[in-house]
Chain A
Amino acid sequence: MANQQTTSVGRWQGALSAVAAVLLLAALIFCGVSLVSWLGASGDESVQFADTRDDVLRVGKQELVNFYTLDYKNPDASFDRLVQSSTGDLATAIKQGEATWKKQLTDQKTSSTAKVLDAAVTELDDRAGTATVAAIVEVDVTPDNGKPANRLPMQIQLSRTDQGWKLSQAGSIVLGSQ
Protein backbone atom coordinates (compact mmCIF):
# COMPACT_ATOMS: atom_id res chain seq x y z
CA MET A 1 0.00 0.00 0.00
CA ALA A 2 2.55 2.50 1.11
CA ASN A 3 4.80 1.71 -1.77
CA GLN A 4 2.04 1.96 -4.31
CA GLN A 5 0.86 5.23 -2.90
CA THR A 6 4.36 6.47 -2.77
CA THR A 7 5.00 5.61 -6.36
CA SER A 8 1.69 7.02 -7.57
CA VAL A 9 2.25 10.22 -5.62
CA GLY A 10 5.80 10.24 -6.90
CA ARG A 11 4.62 9.76 -10.45
CA TRP A 12 1.98 12.40 -10.07
CA GLN A 13 4.52 14.79 -8.69
CA GLY A 14 6.99 13.87 -11.36
CA ALA A 15 4.41 14.56 -14.05
CA LEU A 16 3.47 17.81 -12.37
CA SER A 17 7.08 18.88 -12.15
CA ALA A 18 7.63 18.01 -15.79
CA VAL A 19 4.55 19.94 -16.90
CA ALA A 20 5.53 22.86 -14.70
CA ALA A 21 9.05 22.84 -16.07
CA VAL A 22 7.78 22.79 -19.66
CA LEU A 23 5.37 25.63 -18.86
CA LEU A 24 8.13 27.60 -17.19
CA LEU A 25 10.44 27.13 -20.13
CA ALA A 26 7.73 28.10 -22.62
CA ALA A 27 6.83 31.17 -20.56
CA LEU A 28 10.48 32.13 -20.29
CA ILE A 29 10.95 31.91 -24.05
CA PHE A 30 7.72 33.81 -24.73
CA CYS A 31 8.68 36.51 -22.25
CA GLY A 32 12.16 36.83 -23.70
CA VAL A 33 10.94 37.03 -27.28
CA SER A 34 8.35 39.66 -26.33
CA LEU A 35 10.92 41.70 -24.45
CA VAL A 36 13.28 41.62 -27.40
CA SER A 37 10.51 42.68 -29.77
CA TRP A 38 9.60 45.56 -27.47
CA LEU A 39 13.19 46.72 -27.10
CA GLY A 40 13.65 46.29 -30.83
CA ALA A 41 10.56 48.35 -31.56
CA SER A 42 11.57 51.08 -29.12
CA GLY A 43 15.06 51.28 -30.51
CA ASP A 44 13.82 51.21 -34.08
CA GLU A 45 15.22 54.10 -36.08
CA SER A 46 11.96 54.92 -37.84
CA VAL A 47 10.11 54.88 -34.53
CA GLN A 48 12.54 57.42 -33.12
CA PHE A 49 12.30 59.44 -36.32
CA ALA A 50 8.51 59.46 -36.01
CA ASP A 51 8.83 60.65 -32.41
CA THR A 52 11.11 63.45 -33.54
CA ARG A 53 8.68 64.42 -36.30
CA ASP A 54 5.79 64.67 -33.85
CA ASP A 55 8.00 66.60 -31.46
CA VAL A 56 8.92 69.09 -34.19
CA LEU A 57 5.28 69.55 -35.18
CA ARG A 58 4.15 70.15 -31.60
CA VAL A 59 6.96 72.58 -30.83
CA GLY A 60 6.62 74.35 -34.19
CA LYS A 61 2.93 74.97 -33.63
CA GLN A 62 3.56 76.28 -30.12
CA GLU A 63 6.27 78.61 -31.30
CA LEU A 64 4.06 79.99 -34.04
CA VAL A 65 1.46 80.71 -31.39
CA ASN A 66 4.14 82.36 -29.24
CA PHE A 67 5.22 84.47 -32.20
CA TYR A 68 1.80 85.96 -32.81
CA THR A 69 0.61 86.20 -29.25
CA LEU A 70 1.35 89.83 -28.50
CA ASP A 71 0.15 91.97 -25.63
CA TYR A 72 0.78 95.69 -26.11
CA LYS A 73 0.20 96.25 -22.39
CA ASN A 74 3.00 93.89 -21.58
CA PRO A 75 5.64 94.21 -24.33
CA ASP A 76 8.40 92.71 -22.18
CA ALA A 77 6.61 89.40 -21.75
CA SER A 78 5.70 89.28 -25.45
CA PHE A 79 9.29 89.99 -26.39
CA ASP A 80 10.65 87.38 -23.99
CA ARG A 81 8.39 84.78 -25.60
CA LEU A 82 9.87 85.63 -29.00
CA VAL A 83 13.40 85.29 -27.71
CA GLN A 84 12.59 82.05 -25.91
CA SER A 85 11.14 80.50 -29.07
CA SER A 86 13.95 81.42 -31.42
CA THR A 87 17.57 80.61 -32.02
CA GLY A 88 20.42 81.51 -34.35
CA ASP A 89 20.15 84.46 -36.73
CA LEU A 90 16.50 84.92 -36.01
CA ALA A 91 17.16 85.29 -32.29
CA THR A 92 20.01 87.71 -33.00
CA ALA A 93 17.81 89.83 -35.26
CA ILE A 94 15.01 89.87 -32.72
CA LYS A 95 17.34 90.94 -29.92
CA GLN A 96 18.87 93.68 -32.06
CA GLY A 97 15.48 95.16 -32.78
CA GLU A 98 14.27 94.95 -29.19
CA ALA A 99 13.74 98.69 -28.53
CA THR A 100 12.02 99.40 -31.86
CA TRP A 101 9.86 96.31 -31.61
CA LYS A 102 8.63 97.11 -28.11
CA LYS A 103 7.91 100.71 -29.07
CA GLN A 104 5.92 99.62 -32.12
CA LEU A 105 3.87 97.17 -30.13
CA THR A 106 3.11 99.73 -27.46
CA ASP A 107 2.24 102.42 -30.00
CA GLN A 108 -0.11 100.36 -32.17
CA LYS A 109 -2.23 99.56 -29.12
CA THR A 110 -3.36 96.24 -30.48
CA SER A 111 -2.85 92.82 -29.05
CA SER A 112 -3.17 89.55 -30.83
CA THR A 113 -3.68 85.89 -30.21
CA ALA A 114 -2.88 83.11 -32.61
CA LYS A 115 -4.19 79.67 -33.41
CA VAL A 116 -2.64 77.13 -35.74
CA LEU A 117 -5.43 75.78 -37.95
CA ASP A 118 -3.29 73.08 -39.48
CA ALA A 119 0.37 72.30 -39.82
CA ALA A 120 2.60 69.61 -41.23
CA VAL A 121 6.29 68.83 -41.09
CA THR A 122 7.51 69.09 -44.67
CA GLU A 123 11.18 68.37 -44.10
CA LEU A 124 13.10 66.73 -41.31
CA ASP A 125 16.80 66.03 -41.11
CA ASP A 126 17.29 64.24 -37.84
CA ARG A 127 21.08 64.19 -38.04
CA ALA A 128 21.51 67.82 -38.98
CA GLY A 129 18.82 68.74 -36.48
CA THR A 130 16.85 70.88 -38.91
CA ALA A 131 13.20 70.79 -39.88
CA THR A 132 10.66 72.74 -41.88
CA VAL A 133 7.03 73.09 -40.92
CA ALA A 134 4.26 74.52 -43.08
CA ALA A 135 1.28 75.92 -41.24
CA ILE A 136 -1.81 77.99 -41.63
CA VAL A 137 -2.11 80.36 -38.69
CA GLU A 138 -5.13 82.39 -37.71
CA VAL A 139 -4.25 85.61 -35.94
CA ASP A 140 -6.93 87.44 -34.01
CA VAL A 141 -6.20 91.09 -33.42
CA THR A 142 -7.89 92.99 -30.60
CA PRO A 143 -9.38 95.46 -30.96
CA ASP A 144 -10.17 94.16 -34.45
CA ASN A 145 -11.64 97.42 -35.79
CA GLY A 146 -14.11 95.36 -37.80
CA LYS A 147 -11.44 93.43 -39.66
CA PRO A 148 -11.71 89.65 -39.92
CA ALA A 149 -9.03 87.42 -38.45
CA ASN A 150 -5.91 87.10 -40.54
CA ARG A 151 -5.04 83.74 -41.97
CA LEU A 152 -1.35 83.44 -42.58
CA PRO A 153 0.22 80.66 -44.59
CA MET A 154 3.52 80.24 -42.81
CA GLN A 155 6.67 78.28 -43.29
CA ILE A 156 9.08 78.03 -40.41
CA GLN A 157 12.42 76.39 -39.96
CA LEU A 158 13.44 74.82 -36.72
CA SER A 159 16.83 73.86 -35.39
CA ARG A 160 17.62 71.52 -32.58
CA THR A 161 19.27 73.20 -29.61
CA ASP A 162 20.16 72.10 -26.11
CA GLN A 163 16.78 73.44 -25.05
CA GLY A 164 14.90 71.57 -27.75
CA TRP A 165 13.65 72.69 -31.15
CA LYS A 166 13.63 76.45 -31.75
CA LEU A 167 12.64 78.71 -34.60
CA SER A 168 15.57 79.62 -36.78
CA GLN A 169 13.58 81.16 -39.60
CA ALA A 170 10.00 82.28 -40.12
CA GLY A 171 8.31 83.52 -43.24
CA SER A 172 5.04 83.47 -45.08
CA ILE A 173 4.30 81.24 -48.01
CA VAL A 174 3.57 83.49 -50.97
CA LEU A 175 0.29 82.52 -52.59
CA GLY A 176 -1.35 84.44 -55.38
CA SER A 177 -0.40 87.90 -56.49
CA GLN A 178 -2.94 90.09 -54.77
Chain B
Amino acid sequence: MPPPRRNANAQQPVRRPRVAGLRRPTAPNTTPPSEPERVSGQLPVTGDAVDSGPVDSVETEVVAPEVNGVEPVQREFPKVFPDRAPEPEPEADVEPDAEPEPAKQRRPLGERLAPAGRALARLRPRTVLGPIVMILVAAVLTAAGFLFRGQAGLVLDGGSAANTALTDTGATTDVITQVTRDMETVSSYKYTDLAGAQKAGQAVSTGGFLDDYNKLFEQVKAQAPAQKAVVTGQVAKIGVRQLQGDNAELLVFVTQTTTRADNNASNSVGLVYTVDATRSGGKWLISKLTPR
Protein backbone atom coordinates (compact mmCIF):
# COMPACT_ATOMS: atom_id res chain seq x y z
CA MET B 1 0.00 0.00 0.00
CA PRO B 2 2.68 2.60 0.84
CA PRO B 3 4.31 2.54 -2.61
CA PRO B 4 1.24 3.87 -4.42
CA ARG B 5 1.19 6.81 -2.06
CA ARG B 6 4.73 7.69 -2.86
CA ASN B 7 3.95 7.56 -6.51
CA ALA B 8 1.08 9.91 -5.88
CA ASN B 9 3.47 12.65 -4.73
CA ALA B 10 2.65 14.59 -7.80
CA GLN B 11 -0.80 15.08 -6.46
CA GLN B 12 0.28 16.19 -3.03
CA PRO B 13 0.61 19.89 -3.85
CA VAL B 14 -3.09 19.82 -4.47
CA ARG B 15 -3.84 18.52 -1.01
CA ARG B 16 -1.14 20.44 0.71
CA PRO B 17 -2.80 23.84 0.91
CA ARG B 18 -5.52 22.41 3.08
CA VAL B 19 -3.28 20.77 5.62
CA ALA B 20 -0.36 23.08 5.12
CA GLY B 21 -2.52 25.89 6.32
CA LEU B 22 -2.66 24.18 9.65
CA ARG B 23 0.99 23.41 10.02
CA ARG B 24 2.61 25.95 7.90
CA PRO B 25 5.96 26.21 9.70
CA THR B 26 7.11 22.66 9.15
CA ALA B 27 5.12 21.09 6.44
CA PRO B 28 6.43 22.53 3.17
CA ASN B 29 10.11 22.31 4.01
CA THR B 30 10.12 18.85 5.41
CA THR B 31 8.12 17.17 2.79
CA PRO B 32 10.98 15.84 0.70
CA PRO B 33 13.06 14.46 3.59
CA SER B 34 9.98 12.93 5.08
CA GLU B 35 9.64 10.48 2.24
CA PRO B 36 12.42 8.13 3.34
CA GLU B 37 11.33 8.40 6.95
CA ARG B 38 7.91 7.08 6.20
CA VAL B 39 9.41 3.73 5.43
CA SER B 40 8.90 3.06 9.13
CA GLY B 41 5.30 2.69 8.20
CA GLN B 42 4.08 4.36 11.35
CA LEU B 43 2.31 7.17 9.73
CA PRO B 44 0.01 5.34 7.41
CA VAL B 45 -1.03 3.33 10.42
CA THR B 46 -1.49 6.05 13.04
CA GLY B 47 -2.74 8.86 10.86
CA ASP B 48 -6.21 8.47 9.48
CA ALA B 49 -5.83 10.93 6.71
CA VAL B 50 -3.55 10.01 3.88
CA ASP B 51 -2.61 13.66 3.46
CA SER B 52 -1.29 14.18 6.94
CA GLY B 53 1.42 11.60 6.43
CA PRO B 54 3.83 13.44 4.22
CA VAL B 55 3.10 16.78 5.81
CA ASP B 56 3.67 15.84 9.43
CA SER B 57 6.61 13.69 9.13
CA VAL B 58 9.41 15.65 10.73
CA GLU B 59 11.74 12.97 11.92
CA THR B 60 11.36 13.34 15.65
CA GLU B 61 7.89 14.75 15.75
CA VAL B 62 6.38 11.92 13.90
CA VAL B 63 4.11 10.70 16.65
CA ALA B 64 3.66 13.70 18.90
CA PRO B 65 2.27 16.14 16.36
CA GLU B 66 -0.22 13.52 15.30
CA VAL B 67 -1.77 13.54 18.72
CA ASN B 68 -1.35 17.20 19.55
CA GLY B 69 -2.33 18.17 16.08
CA VAL B 70 -5.95 18.05 17.14
CA GLU B 71 -5.68 21.34 18.97
CA PRO B 72 -4.04 23.36 16.27
CA VAL B 73 -6.75 22.25 13.91
CA GLN B 74 -9.34 23.88 16.03
CA ARG B 75 -7.39 27.00 16.74
CA GLU B 76 -6.88 27.72 13.11
CA PHE B 77 -10.39 26.72 12.37
CA PRO B 78 -11.46 30.05 10.92
CA LYS B 79 -8.77 29.96 8.28
CA VAL B 80 -9.96 26.67 6.92
CA PHE B 81 -13.53 27.48 7.52
CA PRO B 82 -14.54 27.44 3.89
CA ASP B 83 -13.29 23.89 3.61
CA ARG B 84 -15.03 22.85 6.76
CA ALA B 85 -18.26 24.50 5.86
CA PRO B 86 -20.15 21.27 5.15
CA GLU B 87 -19.54 20.01 8.68
CA PRO B 88 -20.70 22.90 10.84
CA GLU B 89 -23.79 23.29 8.73
CA PRO B 90 -26.13 21.62 11.23
CA GLU B 91 -24.64 23.81 13.93
CA ALA B 92 -25.22 26.83 11.82
CA ASP B 93 -28.93 26.25 12.31
CA VAL B 94 -28.46 26.79 15.98
CA GLU B 95 -26.53 29.99 15.59
CA PRO B 96 -29.43 32.35 15.12
CA ASP B 97 -31.06 30.78 18.09
CA ALA B 98 -28.04 30.90 20.34
CA GLU B 99 -27.78 34.63 19.85
CA PRO B 100 -31.37 35.54 20.61
CA GLU B 101 -31.45 33.37 23.72
CA PRO B 102 -28.92 35.38 25.66
CA ALA B 103 -30.66 38.40 24.23
CA LYS B 104 -33.77 37.32 26.06
CA GLN B 105 -31.95 37.53 29.33
CA ARG B 106 -30.08 40.72 28.70
CA ARG B 107 -32.83 42.72 27.05
CA PRO B 108 -36.23 41.31 27.68
CA LEU B 109 -37.87 42.99 24.73
CA GLY B 110 -40.81 41.77 22.77
CA GLU B 111 -39.25 42.37 19.42
CA ARG B 112 -36.38 40.10 20.31
CA LEU B 113 -38.68 37.32 21.36
CA ALA B 114 -40.33 36.73 18.07
CA PRO B 115 -37.25 35.55 16.19
CA ALA B 116 -36.17 33.67 19.30
CA GLY B 117 -39.46 31.84 19.35
CA ARG B 118 -39.15 31.09 15.68
CA ALA B 119 -35.63 29.89 16.21
CA LEU B 120 -36.67 27.78 19.16
CA ALA B 121 -39.49 26.29 17.19
CA ARG B 122 -36.98 25.44 14.53
CA LEU B 123 -34.47 24.17 17.04
CA ARG B 124 -36.63 21.88 19.12
CA PRO B 125 -38.12 19.59 16.54
CA ARG B 126 -34.73 19.02 14.98
CA THR B 127 -32.46 18.70 17.95
CA VAL B 128 -33.87 18.49 21.47
CA LEU B 129 -37.23 17.01 20.59
CA GLY B 130 -35.63 14.29 18.50
CA PRO B 131 -33.70 12.69 21.36
CA ILE B 132 -36.62 13.22 23.73
CA VAL B 133 -38.96 11.42 21.38
CA MET B 134 -36.37 8.69 20.96
CA ILE B 135 -36.05 8.30 24.72
CA LEU B 136 -39.82 8.26 25.13
CA VAL B 137 -40.18 5.63 22.44
CA ALA B 138 -37.38 3.69 24.12
CA ALA B 139 -39.27 3.91 27.42
CA VAL B 140 -42.47 2.69 25.79
CA LEU B 141 -40.61 -0.16 24.10
CA THR B 142 -38.96 -1.09 27.38
CA ALA B 143 -42.32 -1.11 29.13
CA ALA B 144 -43.76 -3.25 26.35
CA GLY B 145 -40.75 -5.52 26.63
CA PHE B 146 -41.36 -6.04 30.33
CA LEU B 147 -45.03 -6.66 29.61
CA PHE B 148 -44.16 -9.32 27.03
CA ARG B 149 -41.67 -10.88 29.41
CA GLY B 150 -44.31 -10.92 32.11
CA GLN B 151 -46.76 -12.55 29.74
CA ALA B 152 -44.18 -15.14 28.75
CA GLY B 153 -43.50 -15.83 32.42
CA LEU B 154 -47.22 -16.06 33.10
CA VAL B 155 -47.70 -18.53 30.28
CA LEU B 156 -44.77 -20.67 31.37
CA ASP B 157 -44.96 -20.47 35.15
CA GLY B 158 -48.31 -19.10 36.19
CA GLY B 159 -50.83 -20.77 33.95
CA SER B 160 -51.72 -24.32 33.17
CA ALA B 161 -48.19 -24.98 31.94
CA ALA B 162 -46.84 -24.65 35.46
CA ASN B 163 -48.56 -27.95 36.14
CA THR B 164 -46.49 -30.52 34.30
CA ALA B 165 -48.80 -33.44 34.96
CA LEU B 166 -48.98 -35.37 31.67
CA THR B 167 -47.04 -32.69 29.79
CA ASP B 168 -43.79 -33.91 31.32
CA THR B 169 -44.31 -37.57 30.56
CA GLY B 170 -41.11 -38.72 32.23
CA ALA B 171 -41.82 -36.95 35.52
CA THR B 172 -45.47 -38.06 35.38
CA THR B 173 -44.55 -41.70 34.90
CA ASP B 174 -41.98 -41.35 37.67
CA VAL B 175 -44.39 -39.95 40.24
CA ILE B 176 -47.10 -42.45 39.27
CA THR B 177 -44.76 -45.42 39.57
CA GLN B 178 -43.33 -44.34 42.89
CA VAL B 179 -46.55 -43.18 44.55
CA THR B 180 -48.23 -46.42 43.44
CA ARG B 181 -45.53 -48.34 45.27
CA ASP B 182 -45.70 -45.97 48.27
CA MET B 183 -49.48 -46.39 48.58
CA GLU B 184 -49.27 -50.16 48.30
CA THR B 185 -46.55 -50.17 50.94
CA VAL B 186 -48.48 -48.12 53.49
CA SER B 187 -51.70 -50.07 52.94
CA SER B 188 -50.13 -53.52 53.26
CA TYR B 189 -48.84 -55.51 56.22
CA LYS B 190 -48.54 -59.04 57.50
CA TYR B 191 -49.18 -59.88 61.14
CA THR B 192 -45.96 -61.95 61.06
CA ASP B 193 -43.72 -58.97 60.32
CA LEU B 194 -45.33 -55.81 61.59
CA ALA B 195 -42.03 -54.16 62.43
CA GLY B 196 -40.80 -54.69 58.88
CA ALA B 197 -44.06 -53.35 57.45
CA GLN B 198 -43.88 -50.27 59.64
CA LYS B 199 -40.28 -49.64 58.69
CA ALA B 200 -41.17 -49.90 55.00
CA GLY B 201 -44.16 -47.59 55.50
CA GLN B 202 -42.07 -45.03 57.34
CA ALA B 203 -39.53 -45.08 54.53
CA VAL B 204 -42.10 -43.82 52.02
CA SER B 205 -43.75 -41.30 54.33
CA THR B 206 -42.75 -37.79 55.26
CA GLY B 207 -43.99 -34.70 57.02
CA GLY B 208 -47.45 -34.78 58.52
CA PHE B 209 -48.30 -38.15 57.08
CA LEU B 210 -45.40 -39.81 58.86
CA ASP B 211 -47.01 -38.99 62.21
CA ASP B 212 -50.43 -40.11 60.98
CA TYR B 213 -48.99 -43.33 59.71
CA ASN B 214 -47.27 -44.12 63.00
CA LYS B 215 -50.50 -43.45 64.93
CA LEU B 216 -52.45 -45.65 62.54
CA PHE B 217 -49.92 -48.40 62.79
CA GLU B 218 -50.26 -48.47 66.58
CA GLN B 219 -53.85 -49.67 66.00
CA VAL B 220 -52.60 -52.24 63.52
CA LYS B 221 -50.07 -53.52 66.02
CA ALA B 222 -52.82 -53.80 68.61
CA GLN B 223 -55.20 -55.79 66.39
CA ALA B 224 -53.30 -57.57 63.63
CA PRO B 225 -51.61 -60.29 65.74
CA ALA B 226 -54.89 -61.46 67.26
CA GLN B 227 -56.65 -61.43 63.89
CA LYS B 228 -53.67 -62.95 62.14
CA ALA B 229 -54.37 -60.42 59.48
CA VAL B 230 -52.66 -60.16 56.15
CA VAL B 231 -53.57 -56.95 54.42
CA THR B 232 -52.68 -56.14 50.85
CA GLY B 233 -53.28 -52.83 49.21
CA GLN B 234 -53.39 -52.59 45.45
CA VAL B 235 -53.67 -49.43 43.41
CA ALA B 236 -56.52 -49.85 40.91
CA LYS B 237 -56.26 -46.44 39.35
CA ILE B 238 -54.04 -43.43 39.79
CA GLY B 239 -53.92 -40.02 38.21
CA VAL B 240 -51.70 -36.99 38.69
CA ARG B 241 -53.76 -33.85 39.07
CA GLN B 242 -50.92 -31.50 39.89
CA LEU B 243 -47.21 -31.82 39.32
CA GLN B 244 -44.91 -28.92 40.01
CA GLY B 245 -41.26 -29.53 40.66
CA ASP B 246 -40.94 -31.60 43.83
CA ASN B 247 -44.62 -31.44 44.72
CA ALA B 248 -47.46 -33.48 43.33
CA GLU B 249 -51.11 -34.14 44.01
CA LEU B 250 -52.58 -37.42 42.91
CA LEU B 251 -55.91 -39.16 43.01
CA VAL B 252 -55.43 -42.78 44.01
CA PHE B 253 -57.97 -45.60 43.99
CA VAL B 254 -56.93 -48.48 46.21
CA THR B 255 -58.42 -51.92 46.75
CA GLN B 256 -57.44 -53.16 50.17
CA THR B 257 -57.88 -56.88 50.74
CA THR B 258 -57.78 -58.26 54.28
CA THR B 259 -57.42 -61.96 54.99
CA ARG B 260 -57.82 -63.08 58.58
CA ALA B 261 -56.40 -66.43 59.58
CA ASP B 262 -58.28 -66.47 62.91
CA ASN B 263 -61.69 -66.86 61.27
CA ASN B 264 -60.64 -67.46 57.65
CA ALA B 265 -62.55 -64.40 56.57
CA SER B 266 -61.51 -62.29 53.63
CA ASN B 267 -62.86 -59.07 52.39
CA SER B 268 -61.77 -56.16 50.31
CA VAL B 269 -62.70 -52.53 50.39
CA GLY B 270 -62.24 -49.62 48.03
CA LEU B 271 -60.39 -46.59 49.29
CA VAL B 272 -59.98 -43.35 47.45
CA TYR B 273 -57.36 -40.84 48.50
CA THR B 274 -56.09 -37.52 47.43
CA VAL B 275 -52.37 -37.92 47.94
CA ASP B 276 -49.91 -35.11 48.39
CA ALA B 277 -46.45 -36.30 47.45
CA THR B 278 -43.10 -34.63 47.94
CA ARG B 279 -39.90 -35.53 46.19
CA SER B 280 -36.94 -35.76 48.50
CA GLY B 281 -33.58 -37.06 47.42
CA GLY B 282 -35.06 -38.21 44.12
CA LYS B 283 -37.76 -40.26 45.85
CA TRP B 284 -41.44 -39.40 45.91
CA LEU B 285 -42.82 -39.69 49.45
CA ILE B 286 -46.34 -39.39 50.77
CA SER B 287 -46.70 -36.18 52.75
CA LYS B 288 -50.47 -36.08 53.16
CA LEU B 289 -53.37 -38.43 52.66
CA THR B 290 -56.94 -37.18 52.37
CA PRO B 291 -59.61 -39.91 52.32
CA ARG B 292 -62.35 -39.35 49.76
What are the residues of chain B within 8 A of A118 when measuring CB–CB?
Answer: 241, 251, 272, 274, 292
CB-CB contacts of A132-164 with B at 8 A, as 1s and 0s? 011110000000000000010101000000000
- What is the bound-complex CA distance between A49 and B168, given in angstroms? 10
Q: Please give me the residue from chain A that is nearest to B270 by CB atom.
A: A175
B172 → chain A closest CB, angstroms = 10
Some 11 contacts from A to B, beta carbons below 8 A apart, are A2-B98, A27-B138, A30-B141, A37-B152, A49-B167, A50-B159, A53-B165, A53-B166, A54-B160, A118-B292, A133-B239
What are the residues of chain B within 8 A of A40 when measuring CB–CB?
Answer: 152
B4 → chain A closest CB, angstroms = 35
A85 → chain B closest CB, angstroms = 20
Check A124 for interface membership: any CB of B closer than 8 A: yes
Docked-complex contact A5 and B98, CB < 8 angstroms: yes
What are the residues of chain B within 8 A of A28 when measuring CB–CB?
Answer: 138, 141
Docked-complex contact B91 and A42, CB < 8 angstroms: no
- What is the bound-complex CA distance between A56 and B147, given in angstroms? 30
> Number of B residues whose C-beta is below 8 Å from A?
61
A residues near B, CB below 8 A?
A: 2-3, 5-7, 9-10, 13, 16-17, 19-21, 23-24, 26-28, 30-31, 33-35, 37-38, 40-42, 44, 46-47, 49-51, 53-54, 57, 117-122, 124, 133-136, 151, 153, 155, 173-178
Docked-complex contact A2 and B137, CB < 8 angstroms: no
**Interface positions of B from 235 to 285, Cβ below 8 Å from A:** 236-241, 250-251, 253-257, 267-272, 274
Docked-complex contact A47 and B95, CB < 8 angstroms: no
What are the residues of chain A within 8 A of B195 when measuring CB–CB?
Answer: none
Docked-complex contact A34 and B148, CB < 8 angstroms: yes
Docked-complex contact A10 and B94, CB < 8 angstroms: yes
Known pairs A20-B134, A41-B155, A47-B160; list 20 more (Cβ under 8 Å).
Answer: A7-B91, A13-B127, A16-B128, A23-B138, A24-B138, A27-B138, A34-B144, A42-B155, A46-B164, A47-B156, A50-B166, A53-B165, A57-B241, A120-B239, A120-B251, A124-B166, A134-B237, A134-B239, A136-B292, A178-B267
Docked-complex contact B253 and A134, CB < 8 angstroms: yes
- What is the bound-complex CA distance between A87 and B37, given in angstroms? 96
